[in-house]
Amino acid sequence: MNKTRCTIVRVAFAALVATVLATVHGVQAQPGPQRANFVRLVVPEADTVQATSGFYRLSAGTVPGNHLTLNGAPLKVYPSGATAGLLPLNVGENLFTLTATSPRGDSVSKSFLVIRLRPPETTPDSVLAIDTIMSEPSQELWLNEGDRLDLQFKGTPGCKASNDLGIPMTEVPPAYTGGLGGVYRGVYMVRDGDTLSLRRIRFRLESPAGAVAETLSRGAVSIRCNDFPYIGVTKGDRPALAYGLGEDRLGGAKMSFINPGIRLAITGRKGAMYRAALAPGHEAWIAVANVDLIPKGARLPAALTENWVVYGDAKYDYVTVAIPLRLPYSSSTETSPTRINVDVYGATSNTNWIIQQLTTKEVTNVYYTEPSAGVFRITIELRHRQIWGYEIGYNPAGLVIKVRRQPEKLKIKALTFALDAGHGGENLGALGSTGVFEKDINLAVVRELKSILEDRGARVVLTRESDADLTMGDRVRKVVSSGADLLISVHSNSVGLTTNPDNTRGTATFYKHVCYRPLALAIVKQVLKTGVPLFGNVGSFNFSLNAPTELPNVLVEMAFVSNPQDEMMLTDPEFRHRIAQRIVDGVDDFLDSCDE
Ligand SMILES: [Zn+2]
């Protein structure tokens, strides 16, 4: 999965690409006396790197059969020549030297430097200063009535802190700051009628002797109680509503992907995200880049729902809800009984009838409830235990939920599979100690899967057939527009930079929507038969290719390429064939379970 460090590594590995590809395709380089000795540093990703924690991942390799030491201490070397571990770091510079010694006794070394940054320290009393670090607000803020404005800066302890908004600030006891002195904080709850035109806040620190230091906050603040809400309209490809402002590597937890052209009431901003008020007690965050603000006076996102028509055509069932404005929505699924719930925010019922044609084949019943003010919930009950996908969108008359039917023949030969080989091109994915790239392993397994499925008579669509870099949006678009029945994403896992790669291994499947859990579970149970241990079946996974509701989908993280034992499996063509076969066996089990 790991994407972050790819570009740095690319240069360092350019010379090794030939070796890597040879390994991936099973053409192992020939061992022999003529083979040059080498030591290959994979992680850290450069000769000099910086760290903030006390540990850094080590992944490195040498010629199989060599002896490896780190600063003179022997390392465990796997039969592949791989080694992996965790480097303990002192604050400041840590110089490491890896030395590979061949059975003939010739040695080659590689040195690298890991600089552990000094953690923030209390400013000495002798210096009157305000540090630039830890200053809050750190991003542009638009605040509304009831929002909290947190002020913070770090400076010389024992002084008097103030700011040009007149918000009281106090020095926090070091027991509440991890031992750091001189951290000053203030809090203000925005009140009705407050205004502040966008600007940075001036902090002031006065020493007991009367000396003064001043600085500006990093982020600018605007208070707009009298002006909110602004009216926004979504734009771009599958804009996402997020629950909050999480910033981990998968992005904030997603509530729902929605369409362009949807109207939102914007009541705040933090950095690159707008806050949208969906309904009383319901809010979501959306990227500023996905919203156009439109002039005041345009209709706010609130509307009465009108009448429904429920019908089927040759391929799909439809639930259409007439509504005069495109409102935001989110959806969820239930498995027992099988239901799709679509919550439309800002909608209030004036639905006085629901026309149900007798042409639906999957939808058995529909109705609505209003679980809270401004939340109009459409519930769709289905015939089968398994949900095979649904798509939510708008046409000029209103909301349309297109429901896929269970395939008539639950056989691999009757289905279309979308296969996604993770990463590609400059996006190398995770890195193995022998210098293997995740992107190559993924593609090799996807090719195995394709061949097994096609031999079984299935139609197969690949998001990428070669070493190409595609965006997540491109991948999702390709999958959904292909009309595939099932999506399998193939990746190889990695630990992060502060975890010991030697201790974490195993296979995992991932799903987001609970209705697609049976597919993930069936596959992981079969994959375990390859002998790779279990890492887990992981739900609520906030990954772009687990987000589509349009078809059952699963992400398979086959094993940890960062773990030398798992890496030996992943670079073995025979294992790659077996795991592909087991994934297909899992699909067979899933299809059988749908029939019960
Ligand atoms: Zn990956």
Element (H, E) at 567: helix 564-570
Are 347 and 305 in contact by the 8 Å Cβ rule? The answer is yes
Q: Is the pLDDT of residue 249 over 80?
A: no
What is the value of pTM for the model shown? Answer: 0.91
CA of 39 to the centre of ligand 1 (A): 25
- Between the CA of 231 and the centroid of ligand 1 the distance, in Å, is 38
pLDDT of residue 12: 37
**Per-residue CA distances from 281 to 64, 227, 239, 539 (Å):** 61, 20, 22, 26
Which of residues 362 and 11 earns the better pLDDT score?
A: 362
Q: Supply the pLDDT for residue 35.
A: 64
Ligand 1 centroid to residue 34 C-alpha, Å: 35
Instruction: Please report the pLDDT score of residue 28 as a whole number.
Output: 39
Distance (angstroms) between ligand 1 centre and the Cα of 269 equals 32
Backbone angles phi, psi at 38, to 5 degrees: -155, 160
Residue 159 has pLDDT above 90, yes or no: yes
Residue 582 Cα to ligand 1 middle (Å): 20
Q: In angstroms, what is the span from residue 322 Cα to ligand 1's centroid?
A: 42
Find the mean pLDDT for residues 526-533.
97
- Cα separation values, 72 from 97, 101, 115, 550, Å: 8, 11, 20, 56
How far, in Å, is the centroid of ligand 1 from the Cα of 264? Answer: 34
Q: How far does the centroid of ligand 1 lie from the alpha carbon of residue 15, in Å?
A: 23
**Distance of CA 62 from the midpoint of ligand 1 (Å):** 24
Instruction: Compute the distance from residue 33 Cα to the ligand 1 centre, in Å.
Output: 36
- The per-residue pLDDT for 4 is 39
The reported pLDDT for the residue numbered 588 is: 98
The percent of residues in the chain predicted with pLDDT above 90, rounded, is: 91
Whole-angstrom distance, CA of residue 340 vs CA of residue 550:
12
Residue-level pLDDT at 246: 83
Tokens 């495109």 identify what position? 326
pLDDT at res. 405:
98
- For residue 19, pLDDT beyond 70: no
Rounded to the nearest angstrom, the distance between the alpha carbon of 588 and the centre of ligand 1 is: 25
Q: What mean pLDDT comes out for the span 186-212?
A: 96
pLDDT digits (tens, 9 = 90+) for 44-87: 999 999 999 999 999 999 999 999 999 999 999 999 999 999 99
Average pLDDT (279-286) is 97
Q: Could you tell me what percent of the chain has a pLDDT over 70? A: 94
Confidence band, pLDDT 50/70/90 cuts, at residue 24: very low
Res 197: pLDDT: 95
Cα–ligand 1 centroid distance for 419 (angstroms) = 14
The HSE-up count of residue 97 (CA atoms within 13 Å, CB side) is 7
**What integer best gives the mean pLDDT of the chain?**
93
Distance 494 CA to ligand 1 centre (A): 8
1 CA → ligand 1 middle, Å: 2
Residue range 462-489, pLDDT digits in tens: 999 999 999 999 999 999 999 999 999 9
- Cα of 558 from ligand 1 centre, angstroms: 10
- Statement: residue 29 has pLDDT above 80: no
CA distance 567 to 43: 15
What local confidence, expressed as pLDDT, does residue 15 receive?
36
The pLDDT tens digits of the residues spanning 116-142 come to 999 999 999 999 999 988 999 999 999
Residue pLDDT, tens place only, 36-45: 899 999 999 9
Tell me how far the alpha carbon of residue 564 lies from the centroid of ligand 1, in angstroms.
17
Lowest mean pLDDT among 25-29, 339-343, 422-426, 575-579: 25-29
